[in-house]
Amino acid sequence: RVAVVGAGVSGLAATKCCLDEGLEPTCFEQSQDIGGLWRYTEHIEAGRPSLYPSVISNTSKEMSAFSDFPFPEHFPVFLPNALLLDYLRRYAEHFSLREHIRFGTTVVSIRKHPDFATTGQWNVVTETGGTQTSHVFDAVMVCNGNFSEPSLPLQCFPGIERFGGQYFHSRQYKHPDVFQGKRVLVVGMGNSGVDIAVEASRVAAKVTISTSRGAWLLSRVFEHGYPWDMILNTRLMSLIKTNLPGPLSWWLINYKANRWFNHENYGLQPENSWLVREPVLNDELPSYILTGRITIRPGVKEFKDNSVLFHNCPEEEPIDIVVFCTGYNISFPFLEESVVRVENKHASLYKYVFPPHVQKPTLAVLGLIKPLGAIMPVVEMQARWVSRVFKGLCQLPPQSVMEKEVNEKKKNQIQWFGLTFDEVLKTEWLVYLDTLASFIGAKPSVLGLLCTDPWLALTIFFGPCSSYQYRLGGPGRWQGARQAILTQWDRVLKPTRTRVPAGSSSSFLSLLTVMGFLLLLAAVIFGFL
């Protein structure tokens, strides 16, 4: 019996993967519906993520899909939050997940059972309608997400206590009308910060983004108009990135990021470009800077009564509203601190999943990772691995080995507003997926396929690494995986190629193959393979 905490993306994947392995999941969801982060509500609910209605997915539908459930072909390539929620509803219905979810039920506490040392069981206390109930579960999957407890480090901003204007955390933002005619300062340059600044600039008198470190900016529309992640997240690109010497790797990142526009000319160049934090996805910011609707400034030095002073800028800038886009804290209010150790707002987890010091591997945390790629295939792969660990089909290494790896990762972290981020290359999306897939025997063999199915092998190596690849073989094999891989570009073009001039055709796949062979030859010559 497995307790699953939360019915968002991670919780749904966890419930489904438990069922695949013949386990008995019970998913506890405090609200009255599924969807987690992707279920928009006009009012902010305690303990739940808060979404603004204009949110669109940063990863394309083909790269975001669960590995045995492609998005409908008529869905747009990048999804408004309502359509992504629709997809999650279809997923839950297709795999009959709702019957395993207890809605309106809050997990109050999770504690080790008295005989945990021998059974690995957990005492779980839940509350429904004011009534508490105790349960005993053999294992627990924590899927409560990390976008519910905002981090608002006001101590990092001198003078904020005397600022006479309005300020709030981005979690409270819903609509841009609050900025009508105002002078707005957005502190922080993550995805939410840039989205809010762009929306505010359409109605505000002036919008300024304050960023101490800068950021790489990517557009959803990448080379030749194709989705960014279907071009960047390929096995060939991953092979090059992970095998290039450090300086060349940083040069490649600089080169790719600056092909769209020169970040330095727009005030966005990262201060330490060799430190890689996740890039920001936004299609409009450069043009809004170019037209003067948004201005980029350095970090905040001090707030005044009705103005702000920036580092290295002698003049004060008048402002009316401040939006702090300073991220979120990691929080497990139902767990004892000794179970999942959070140090410097960073959870110490083996492969970002298992607490290495817990005697029995019967508790796992899903979704606490920030790779440069779609999160849905990642949490699904985590759930597939975890469910097989729970079942005893996969073994974890000794505690000392796990703790050593966790400690090594702590040495490669970036501090930003008191929050901790792992370097993107340390959690390279494809490498991480392949690592977990190899644990369960689901990693595709390109060389093996080259002998039995050459076209599929070439598509897998040179094309986008969609999650269907991890259903070609091993446990959970899906018969539709091959067809899903070979038709992924059709589903990308279906909603956009709504007008086709006579005599035209798509030559992308043939071009991809030719370019792939040339790149492979170059890789061999330069010793990347």
In whole angstroms, give the CA distance from residue 296 to residue 397: 47
Distance of CA 219 to CAs 23, 41, 457, Å?
41, 27, 29
Q: What is the DSSP letter of 227?
A: B
Distance of CA 45 to CAs 5, 51, 109, 172, 193, Å?
17, 11, 20, 10, 21
Number of neighbouring beta carbons within 10 Å of residue 35 = 26
Each as own residue / partner, the long-range contacts of residues 346-355 (CB below 8 Å, 24 or more positions apart, any chain) are 346/410, 346/413, 346/420, 348/406, 348/410, 349/406, 350/396, 350/402, 350/403, 350/405, 350/406, 351/405, 351/435, 351/436, 352/382, 352/427, 353/382, 353/385, 353/386, 354/386, 354/389, 354/396, 354/402
Domain ranges, ordered by start, for the chain: 2-148+329-434, 152-219+260-326
As a three-state string, the secondary structure of 320-388 is CEEEECCCEECCCCCECCCCCCEECCEECCECCCECCCCCCCCEEECCCCCCCCCHHHHHHHHHHHHHH
Instruction: Please list the ranges in the chain whose pLDDT falls under 50.
Output: 415-426, 507, 509-511, 514, 518, 521-529
What is the reported pLDDT for 47?
81
What is the reported pLDDT for 302?
96
Q: For residue range 434-483, what is the model confidence (pLDDT) as tens digits? A: 999 999 999 999 999 999 999 999 999 999 999 999 999 999 999 999 99
Q: For residue range 155-175, what is the model confidence (pLDDT) as tens digits? A: 999 999 999 999 999 999 999
Pick from 286, 312, 103, 244: which is nearest to 526 by CA? 244
For the domain covering 2-148+329-434, report its CATH number.
3.50.50.60
On the 0-12 / 13-18 / 19+ scale of CB atoms within 10 A, 431 is: middle
What is the reported pLDDT for 413?
59
Q: For residue range 102-111, what is the model confidence (pLDDT) as tens digits? A: 999 999 999 9
**Which CATH class for the 152-219+260-326 domain?**
alpha beta
Domains 2-148+329-434 and 152-219+260-326 share a fold: yes
Q: The tokens of 509 are what?
A: 């796949």
